[in-house]
Amino acid sequence: MKKVIVLILLAVVAYYLVDVFSQIKFGENRFQGENVRDFYLDKSKNDLHVSNSVTSIVVNFRGFDTLGEVTVLFLAATALGSVLYRRKAHGEAVLFNASTIVRSGAHLLFAPILLLGAYVFIHGHLSPGGGFQGGTIIATGFLLMLLAYHDYKVSHGVLTWVESLAGLTFASLGLTGLILGKTFLENFLPIGTINDLFSGGIIPIIYIAVGFKVGAELTGVLYTMLNEKEYKKS
Amino acid sequence: MSLGSNLDLLTVTFYGTAIALILIGLYAALVKRSLIKILIGLSIVDSGINLLLVSIGYLKGGTAPIFSPAVIDKNPAMVDPVPQALVLTAIVIGFAVTAVALALVIRLYRHHKTVNIDEIKNLKW
Amino acid sequence: MDILTISIIIMAILQIGAAIYAVIQKDLLYAVIATSVISLILSIFFYVLQAPDVALTEAAIGVALTTIVFVITIRNTERHEDKRHVKIGNKIIKK
Amino acid sequence: MVGSPVQLIAIPLFAAFLIPLLGKAWKELVRITPGVVILYLLYLSVDLLNYTIEHGRVVEVIAGWTPPWGIDLVFSPFSGFLATLMLFMGLLVWIYSYRYQTFEDYDDYEPTLKYYLLLMMMITASVGVVLTGDIFNLFVFIEILGITAYGLTAYYRHRDGAEASFKYLFIGSLSSTFLLLAIMIIYSQLGTLNMADIAVKAHELKPVYKITALVLFLVAFGIEAEMFPLNGWAPDAYSQAPAPVGAAFAGIVVKAGLYTVIRLIYTLFEVGGTYEYLIVMGLITMFFAEFAAFSQTKLKRMLAYSSIGQMGLVLVAFGIGKEEGVYAALFLMFNHAIIKSLLFMSGSYLVYKSKNKYISELNGVGKMMPVTSFLFALGAFAIVGFPPFAGFWSKLAVLTAAADSGMLLIIALILSISLIEVIYYLRVVNRIYFVKRDTDLGITKPTPQAMFSMLVLGAIILIVGFYPDVITGVLHKASATLLDKGSYINDVLSLSQTIN
């Protein structure tokens, strides 16, 4: 019975979705005159000197969204910790170590993965990638170590420091713009020449901060969840 | 790499796949009784939505919206970067919500020793 | 029809197939792996649609992190979907 | 003017990142900082509100890109009034939860840190929802609001919080899915995400897009605003969350949800029939919620259903439209925030020791906890609209607005549904004062902080009850602002620069 209702509901949704989207032409230039897309592309190249226009949108034009997004991750890590928190575990954790091959492999890969992550977020304004991508790559590096060594410890204190300082950098860069008489998150540094590493004013700095923050937060999330082990009754 | 010919066919493929994913995911989320299956359904819906959003931003013959040294002087047509930025946000938010949801599932399992929705019924559903 | 179009269509079919498999499969671990296949193909689609930034994000978050978080949950809970439990008094018996 | 609207968002975000570090220095700072931040924001907000009432709305541009290119925050008498109300309620909720006893059972540092962080960000996100002028930014704030609400609902380990939270999360995820779909349709057709710009261009939309987007928006926002039939999550979340959080849901979060519906219908789209739709949905919501509240045996669930019913009444008032309707709706929202929070705060102390929180366990508690019981009774009388309390004036305003528009049937329906409300509230008050105590449950005295918050709320109910003029001026101004769509668009878009 319930299935039938759901299927009818889905059929209605499907009908309208198909109806609407069949009228939106794929790959067609829909916007004439002034529009957000052309404005962003133009300003990204000429006013901000950032070659990756997705980065300039994420960090500058719609930087407020990104601040919110970083906050969502931060709060998700907080809420997750609050949900899974227990004062003390009962009994002994059931754990196993990965084989030697996996462990040495993980050890070997760990540093290159971190380096790759750092590369991705430092070059976020020049090439595809950025804080979110780089941060996630760094988190996967830590994930590898956490999986290979059951007793691999990530210091909670260090994570908190990195997370907080990166977040504070983001927020203070925004507020600095306000203090200097401009608007929140507005660029106040020289913009350099396009396609240089040092270009785009505060954009790369913010994206690097985002990279650190996302990396620390995702590592924290994974660490919290992985520590949620089965306990032997004792 | 550009998607030149057969634009009609590709329209059907991308939009169709995205809508199919949304519907399949919604079906799983609404019908299945396992909490984890419900969340799998929701994450499939997210995938569908993201695909739809990026497809809308595509421009025939456009390049990626990056002014790399190779293309900067040619002034090529570029795909719309705005939906890409939105999807970037949506993906990260989706992950955050999924992680919190799974933590809740673990907590529910600790209490009820089950993840079946029919057996977790202290509150009315 | 060029090779790119054909491969896109094949991948789309694979993706829908993976989605259906993820929904009907009773073993949750396999279902989760199927969702990670969806994300992988999605990431390729993003690349084809000239969205390399999104492709990178989806590859890292959708394929790697979401999957691992699901797997951790399944390891901490139960692996099969339709396990029935019978409550007798305070004890729960798994069938 | 002391500051700009963006500080209302930026400062708490800054503080949120700072608090984990402050906690390392002195643990008490984790509790104190959010309160100090909210107090400062309240000062800022009141100051801005005064400024806007005199000089018109303040549009804050972010990152130097004027609308419609960048994101903007709009602090008008309408949104500013709601933001101020939210911050004020947030401050009281913070005072109430300061060293709230059940939390002290978890005397650990970690849960305390998380509670205060989540609470502060929940308030900030609500303010953000109200202030933002960009539709995708609205989505981001709704997600922040969602995540904090899920975390706080599941805060207690010994209740069914996780279950309520999962339900909330499931419905919330569906809501954000629909919201994204709607944003996508709008963007694909209009190429803009700014609300004022959308309002200007909305007439260019083909009907099919317009209707589909409107329906998707209504479903998404209806979930946040607890509209029927999308409110199944609300009673569980209200009753399983810690008491201060329940008060915050009623006083703050619902207001943000309602605001989105109103902004959608009053500013974004003008489609024939939406006002009637609001009235019908409001009446249905009211009808079902009040009946459900009538049949509840647990106190907090009863209060939650009653809260949904009140939201239905607000929707009806907004549906009546015109200046009187909006004025009545805003007055109702104000009263609901004050009174329902008081009911949650005092009610949860009345059944503090009880495990199941049954209404029958309230028997005779009036003699044991005179002040708290008195405040609860005051709230109960005020919310059903007895004169001379605050609730009377708002109900009167709704009825006048309906009468002015000649909607006599609606008056009759509202009055008859209100009768149910009167019955079940009086039933509870009767139990508190006139039924002999038959349980041996002990009582817990409210902490001084909690007592302070409740007394402030009680005082406001009385003051507004006797001198409604203290608030009506602001409300008139706010409702006039909401209805003046042209000046909203003009104020936001006049800043615009063009592609050069």
D177 touches chain B (CB under 8 A): yes
What is the span of the domain harbouring residue D292? 282-466
Q: Does one domain contain both D231 and D345?
A: no
C-alpha D409/C-alpha D413 separation (Å) is 6
- Look-up: residue for tokens 């290119």? D69
pLDDT per position as a tens digit, D366-379: 888 889 999 999 99
Q: Does one domain contain both D424 and D372?
A: yes
- Sign (positive or negative) of CA dihedral D143, D148, D149, D150: positive
B45 touches chain C (CB under 8 A): no
| Contact residues, chain C, for B105 at CB < 8 Å | 73, 77
Q: Does one domain contain both D287 and D384?
A: yes
Residue C53 pLDDT > 80, yes or no?
yes
State the smallest CA–CA distance between residue A149 and chain B in angstroms.
23
Q: Does one domain contain both D3 and D71?
A: yes
DSSP string, D267-308: II---TTHHHHHHHHHHHHHHHHHHHHHT--BHHHHHHHHHH
Q: Does one domain contain both D252 and D300?
A: no
Burial of C5 (0-12, 13-18, 19+ CB in 10 A): middle
Phi, psi of C81 (to 5 degrees): -75, -45
Domain coordinates of chain C in residue numbers?
A: 3-94
Q: Does one domain contain both D235 and D364?
A: no
Question: What pLDDT score does D385 carry?
Answer: 86
- What is the band of A90 on the pLDDT scale with cuts at 50, 70, 90? low
ipTM of the complex: 0.93
Residue A117 pLDDT > 80, yes or no?
yes
Question: What pLDDT score does B46 carry?
Answer: 93
Domain coordinates of chain A in residue numbers?
A: 2-226
Runs of H (alpha helix) within D56-108 = 77-97, 101-105
Q: Which amino acid is at A226?
A: L
- Look-up: residue for tokens 């929070």? D341
pLDDT per position as a tens digit, A209-219: 999 999 999 99
Inter-chain CB proximity B89 and D236 less than 8 Å? no
- List beta partners, residue B63: B78
DSSP string, D335-395: HHHHHHHHHHHHHHHHTSS-SS-BGGGGTTHHHHSHHHHHHHHHHHHHHHT-TTSHHHHHH
C55 touches chain B (CB under 8 A): no
Beta-carbon contacts of residue D500 (< 8 Å; ≥ 6 apart):
none
State the smallest CA–CA distance between residue D230 and chain A in angstroms.
15
- Look-up: residue for tokens 């709008």? D186
Query: Which residue, among D489, B1, B36, has the nearest Cα to C31 in the 3D structure?
Result: B36
C-alpha D199/C-alpha D204 separation (Å) is 10
Domain coordinates of chain B in residue numbers?
A: 7-112
Question: What pLDDT score does A234 carry?
Answer: 41
C-alpha D400/C-alpha D290 separation (Å) is 22
Q: Does one domain contain both D227 and D315?
A: no
Tokens of A126: 């020049």
Q: Does one domain contain both D350 and D213?
A: no
Runs of H (alpha helix) within C49-92 = 52-57, 67-76
Question: What pLDDT score does D361 carry?
Answer: 83
**Domain annotation covers residue D90:** yes
Question: What pLDDT score does B103 carry?
Answer: 93
| Contact residues, chain D, for A162 at CB < 8 Å | none
pLDDT per position as a tens digit, A124-175: 888 888 889 999 999 999 999 988 887 777 888 888 899 999 999 999 998 9
B31 touches chain D (CB under 8 A): no
Chains B and C touch (3+ CB pairs under 8 A): yes
User: In the complex, which subunits touch C with 3 or more CB pairs below 8 angstroms?
Assistant: A, B
| Contact residues, chain A, for B102 at CB < 8 Å | 225
**Domain annotation covers residue D58:** yes
CATH of B7-112 given 3.60.20.10, 2.60.120.650, 1.10.287.3510, 3.40.50.800: 1.10.287.3510
Q: Which amino acid is at D416?
A: S
Question: What pLDDT score does D484 carry?
Answer: 87
DSSP string, D151-169: HHHT--SSSSHHHHHHHHH
D150 touches chain B (CB under 8 A): yes
Q: DSSP 3-state assignment of A44?
A: helix
**Domain annotation covers residue D497:** no
DSSP annotation of A125 = T
pTM of the model: 0.95
- What is the band of C13 on the pLDDT scale with cuts at 50, 70, 90? very high
- Parallel, antiparallel, or unpaired for β C91-94 and D58-61? unpaired
Inter-chain CB proximity C19 and B27 less than 8 Å? no
C27 touches chain B (CB under 8 A): no
Q: Would you write out chain B's pLDDT as a tens digit for each of its 125 residues?
A: 556 556 678 888 899 999 999 999 999 999 988 899 999 999 999 999 999 999 988 888 888 888 888 887 887 888 899 999 999 999 999 999 999 999 999 988 888 888 888 877 766 54
Interface contacts (A, B; CB < 8 Å):
131
D11 touches chain B (CB under 8 A): no
Phi, psi of A156 (to 5 degrees): -65, -35
| Contact residues, chain A, for D63 at CB < 8 Å | 60-61, 63-64, 177, 183-187
- Look-up: residue for tokens 């790759």? A116
Q: Does one domain contain both D348 and D427?
A: yes
- Look-up: residue for tokens 């004022």? D196
3-state percent breakdown (helix, strand, coil) of chain D, nearest 5: 75, 5, 20
| Contact residues, chain A, for B55 at CB < 8 Å | 26
Q: Does one domain contain both D236 and D306?
A: no
State the smallest CA–CA distance between residue C51 and chain B in angstroms.
6
State the smallest CA–CA distance between residue D87 and chain A in angstroms.
19
Query: Is the preceding omega at residue D235 within 30 degrees of 0, hence cis?
Result: no
- For A197-214, b/e burial (b = at least 16 CB within 10 A) is eebbbbbbebbbbbbbbb
Inter-chain CB proximity B122 and D160 less than 8 Å? yes
- Out of D7, D144, D154, whose CB is closest to A71? D144
C-alpha A131/C-alpha A75 separation (Å) is 18
Residue C95 pLDDT > 50, yes or no?
no
Select, from the ranges A25-39, B58-72, C3-17, D149-163, the one with the highest average predicted confidence (pLDDT). Answer: C3-17
| Contact residues, chain D, for B29 at CB < 8 Å | 170, 174
User: In the complex, which subunits touch A with 3 or more CB pairs below 8 angstroms?
Assistant: B, C, D
For chain D, which ranges sit under pLDDT 50? 498-500
D209 touches chain B (CB under 8 A): no
| C-beta separation of A30 from D495 below 8 A | no
